[in-house]
Structures are given as C-alpha cells and as structure tokens.
Chains A and B, each alone.
Chain A
Amino acid sequence: MSGFTASFKDRADAALADPILKVAVERTAGTAQAKRAVAVEAFPDFEAARDRAAAIKDHVIAHLGAYLEEFEANAIAAGARVHWASTTDEACRIVIDICKAAGAKSVARSKSMLGEEIGLPHALAEAGIGRVETDLAEHIIQLADERPSHIIWPAMHKTREQVSALFKAKHRSPHQEETIAAMAESARRELRTQMLGADVGISGANFLIADTGAICTVTNEGNAELSLVPPRVHIVTAGIEKIVPSMPHAIHMLRMLARSATGAALTQYTTFYTGPKRVGDRDGPEAMHIVLVDNGRTKMREEGLAEMLRCIRCGACMNHCVVFRQIGGHAYGGTYPGPMGAVLTPVFDGLKESRELASACTLNGKCQEVCPVRIPLPTLLKGWREKSWREGLEPRSMRWGLGVWAWVARRPALYRFGTGVAVRAMQMLGKTGWINRLPLAGGWTQYRDMPKPAPQTFMNQYKKERRR
C-alpha cells in the first residue's frame, strides 16, 4: 500500500525540514549500524557466509515452483490449509473470509511487512474487524495512525518524547515516569489483555520450510507467540520467495538475518509452527491457514529482478544509506523504504508513480556492501532509471535538456566551443578556487561551493602539449 500523496521531492523536502525526524532516525540507525559492524567482525567468515546465503536464495528462486509445491504438501499433511493469492486484493479477501468464517471480532497481528504490502490493516478495518498490533513499534504506529518508516523499526521516526505523549493520550493506565522502560511497561499492560482476547492471530513468515511445511517467525519481544498461540485461528500471509529447502538452510539464513538486522547472534524468539494444535496439546490454534502471496514476485523473476527476491528484509541497506539517514522512511512513499524499497516500490505501485525513487540514490554502493544476500541494489536501481527513460517517464525538461546535450555532443567542434565558453565563464564566477554562486544552479550552491574548473578545457591543454 503506497502513500503517494505528494511528489517525492515534496516529501523529501518536508522530511529534510523536520529537525526531530533526523534526530530520531539517526539514533536508531546509528546504533544498528554500529552493532552490525561488531557482529560481523566477530563472525568467522562473514563474506563467505554472504556468498552462501545468496546461493541458497538463488537455488530456491530457480526452483521456486517445485519448492512451493513441496511446502504446500507438507503444510497440508501437518493439518494447515494453504491458500494462494496472485494480487493484494485476493490475499486480503482470503484473510477476511477466514476471519468472518471464524466469527472473528478482533485479530492480534504480529508485525509483518507483507501484511503492510497487501494493505491488510486497511482491509480489516473495512471489514469491521478490530485489530491489535502487538509489536511495540507497530502499536505506536497504530495509535498515531501512521505508516511504518522502517522494516525492522517501524516507529524509527518517533522520538521518546513523542511516544510518551502518545501513550499518555491513548493508554488506559499510562506510565508516570519519563523513561523508555516505563513507556514499554505501559504498552505491555495495555496490550496483554487485548492479545489474549483475540479470536484470530495473524503473522507473516520470515521463512517457509519446504521439507517440513513449517513457517518461521522471529521477534525480540515475544509478541508473535503471544499473538499466535492463544487465538482459535492462526493466519499466515507470506511472500512466495520466503521458501528455504530445509531447516539447516533456514539456520544459515537466520544467522545472517539477526546479525545484519540488529547485530545479535540470534533474535530472542525464533519459532517454527507446523500446522495447528495437536491432539492433547494444551495450547495452540484449532486451525492454521497459510496464504502464499505472489503480488508481482513471479514477474520480478521473469523480468530481471530475480536477485531482489533474495531479500530477507533485514533492513541493513537502509541503516547504511546516506539518503535514508537524511529523509527517513516515509518520504519514500511505498511500503518498503530505503534502497530495497526504491527497487521494490516500482514493482508494487508502478514505475510511473515511483520513478523518482531510483534517483534518490548516490550510487555509493554501501547498501550492496552490507546486504547479507549480496543484492546488487545500485545496479537494480540503475535498471529502473534506464527503464524510466526508455518508457518516456522522465519529465520533458530533462528529456529536452539531454536531447540538446546529445545533439551537441555528436558535433565535436561545437561541443569544444561550448565547453570552452563555459570554462571561461566559470573562471569569472569564482574569485578564489571555489564558485559559491552559479546562475541556474542556485539550489546546488546554496549549501555547497563548487571547485573552480581548470583555466582551459582538457582538449585545449592536450592540443597545446602536443604542439610542444
């Protein structure tokens, strides 16, 4: 579900003008970056481990259909029901129908980006089904009626002061002390009874294990288990790319995920659910439904974005992205922010609406350097830029400007004349070695100076040298 209410430029401008946002994003992303560095350093051979993780995902993507069928057969054998959805609407309809058939009045939801992607919160609201977000950050977002701004820390854009005010306004018995611990305690009090009273628990899946039919969730808070064990029905919505062949494959990916996301060796709670409650079990749901969602993934595989299907949603690329660190997640406008979001959003929301995201990148390659599954994010972003150009989506002024440049560039004499004039003009603009005001580029020189070019163009100097 996207939020393209303004242009990317306007959203980015608004984000840059917000002094609190930058502080909030820096606090969390900075900590995550530092912790990851320590964890990676301590791991015996993280580079080889990244190769392996990428190879595991590539193997799965190459044989995705067969692994999905294997997963389906094993999940059914364990007593789960498996549903398939090509689109977001289909996925939501399936979930709502299951909730209605179960007579559900309230659902407890454990954070899932796929749920956000398909617009599940909105669909539940439309169906009149109460929703309790149980992840602390998602709870904050729900109370604030906002959208997640990060895939691991959805409330990253909020400062403690903002959270405190929110809880005081909305919680039944809010915290008295102004500490983060007291705020978390307030949420614990608020959420526990709601979780235990839910009719249906809804989660995503970090991994789907083909050879057992199990789905895996990871959380630090334990909210997934508290949301999924008490209700009568457990619904899982998962992207079809979440498959791994077996538990040992999942184990390798889990080692990579936790270190890349939070710098821990493992997330506090890692749970594999295989089907519903068994005979004699004291807890667990009576029914388990798994909704396998395509929503453009098969198309990505066919159309040059197969590498993006490796993504395990760790968030490292955004924590290390200079652009994300400046503008936060909301400015990206889609479900997924940062570099991975800039690659994914055109798939889900259309290139026309989101083509600017591919340009919100310095191509410094930091995201690719930290990605645990070695996704060549800058290359994929460049692919979107090219496609946008081919399809004529760039603004007319840019197409016209580049057209003029190309016309001139094909005429070397004219080109040399032009650059010679430009160099001489720029010489006059800077008294020292720097130019601090440039006509037609005031936006650029408002915050930075530009080095004065050499007194002559390269070609002029070259000719002179040859004559000597």
Chain B
Amino acid sequence: MSARDAILSRLKGAAPDKAEADALLVAPERPMVDEDALEAEFLARLALPSVSASHDAIDTIADLPAAVARYLDAQGEARSLCLPPDPRLMACDWRGFTLHDVAAPDEAAALAIARRGIAESGSLVFETSPQAPMLPNFLTLHHIVLLAVRDIAAHLEAAPLVGAQPRAHYWITGVSGTTDIEGSYVRGAHGPRFLHVILLREQ
C-alpha cells in the first residue's frame, strides 16, 4: 500500500459539511477598527513599534516620483530604484532617477504597489504577477509601497483574492526583524530595514 493510501485509510470518515465549516466563521473575534476612520486606523497600526513604518501622502499618482525622491533624499540614499514593470508605475515621470527592474543582492530601494492595506494590523497585501515580482520587496533595504487610501480595508478577511489564486499572495506587516538573540528586537534581519508607505488619496 502506498503511504498515501495507508494514511488516508486511517483517516476514513464523513466528508466535511460545508455549512459546518462556515459556521465556525460566524462573527469572528477580531481587533476593533473604526470603519469610518480607516486611514487613521491604518496609520496608527503602521506607527506601532512592531510595524514601525513611515508614511507620506500624495493626491495623484503623478506626484509619486517626487514623494519617492523626498524619501530617498531624506534617507541620504541615491535616487536609484528597482521599479517593477507595472504600467501604472512606468507611466510616471522618473527623470532624475536611475531605474532598473531586476533587484541587485544589495538593492538599496524598491518600489511596489500594494493591492490592499489592512487597518487591523497595518498590513500591506501583495500578489505576484508578471508585473509584480516578489524578490525585490525582500532584498531591498528600503521598501517603498504605494497604497491607495480607497484600498484600505478594516480586517484581514478582505485580503485574499476570491477565485483563482496567484503564485504567491503575501502580507507585509512591518520591516524584517528578529528577536532571536536574547529576545531583543533588531530591524533588518534579512529583508528590508525600512518600510515607507506612500498613501494615494486620489478619489
């Protein structure tokens, strides 16, 4: 008997009742979020020490390069950026920047668009696609993320896509950190040491 058959034969039983599984999700306990103040709620979580991201805001996507420049200048970094091949980003005017679309092992800054922000935890939600590689967001020292205010949702239940799943769906809630040495917190363990969110307030 194959291991598969051996395991499944020991686990014989009734098929799960979908209604029973759904009933386990009725009114889940979850962090309280003021649904009328999602942006403020999101920003409050973003500022928590466990997330420790900075933020800025712009009114239209045309202002994005200026906001990125502002951030990089303030950090004392060169205006060099790993930019994914997303048409929304490529349509911006990046004059004055050195752009590349493949992240170097010691990449200083990478930009990405989050599909959602989650207020309960201050999380940013991403998916992989041909326009959205994953690796730059983990290799870079400064992770800069564009998030439209209208895409902020209260709870994590709004994060997943319904239906077909992308290769990777991921939530970033703060910078790469570790407490592996004596429980004390250090930023930038393997991935980004800085996370900067640029909120797009355009309606």
- Chain A contact residues, CB within 8 Å of chain B: 24, 27-32, 42-46, 48-49, 52, 55-56, 59, 62-69, 78, 84-86, 90, 134-137, 140, 153-156, 158-160, 163, 180-181, 183-185, 187-188, 191-193, 195-196, 212-214, 220-223, 225-226, 229-230, 240, 245-249, 251-252, 254-255, 262, 264-278, 280-284, 292, 294, 298-299, 301-302
Contacts and interface: CB of A to CB of B under 8 A. Distances in A.
A249 B168 contact: no
Nearest to A227: B190
A129 to B, nearest CB: 22
A195 B179 CA distance: 20
Given A63-B13, A184-B180, 5 more contacts: A32-B183, A62-B16, A69-B8, A248-B28, A302-B10
B25 to A, nearest CB: 5
Contacts of B122: 265
Contacts of B170: 225, 269-272
Contact of A274 (B11, B15, B29, B169): B169
A65 B11 contact: yes
A226 B190 contact: yes
Contacts of A245: 16, 21
A153 B183 contact: yes
A65 B173 contact: no
Contact of B7 (A52, A240, A251, A276): A240
B12 to A, nearest CB: 6
B130 interface: yes
Contacts of A271: 168-171
Interface string B98-134: 0000100110000000000000111100001110011
Contacts of B11: 64-65, 68, 298, 301
B139 interface: yes
B128 A44 contact: no
A180 B186 contact: yes
A272 B181 contact: no
By Cβ-Cβ distance, the 8 closest A-B pairs, closest first, are: A222-B191, A65-B11, A280-B130, A28-B183, A282-B133, A63-B16, A221-B189, A137-B180
B76 interface: no
Nearest to A188: B190
23 contacts: A32-B183, A44-B29, A44-B30, A63-B15, A65-B13, A67-B16, A69-B8, A84-B3, A135-B180, A136-B178, A137-B178, A184-B186, A184-B189, A187-B189, A221-B190, A222-B189, A225-B191, A226-B190, A229-B135, A255-B31, A277-B167, A282-B135, A284-B167
A251 B156 contact: yes
B96 interface: no
A371 to B, nearest CB: 16
A346 B27 CA distance: 38
Given A84-B2, A268-B172, A220 B167 contact: no
Contacts of B187: 181
Contact of B167 (A181, A246, A274, A294): A274
B24 A59 contact: yes
Contacts of A281: 128-130, 133, 167
Nearest to A159: B182
B184 A214 contact: no
Interface residues of B, number: 72
Contact of B181 (A44, A134, A180): A180
Contacts of B65: none
Contacts, number: 263
B203 interface: no
Interface string B4-40: 1011101111111000110011001111100000000
A247 B171 CA distance: 13
A173 B48 CA distance: 33
A32 to B, nearest CB: 7
A68 B10 CA distance: 12
Most buried by B among A24, A44, A63, A220: A220
Interface string B33-73: 00000000000010010100000000000000000000000
B189 A249 contact: no
A463 B28 CA distance: 59
A160 B129 CA distance: 41
A442 B160 CA distance: 62
Nearest to A87: B3
Contacts of B15: 63, 66
A240 B4 CA distance: 11
A247 B24 CA distance: 13
A59 B20 contact: yes
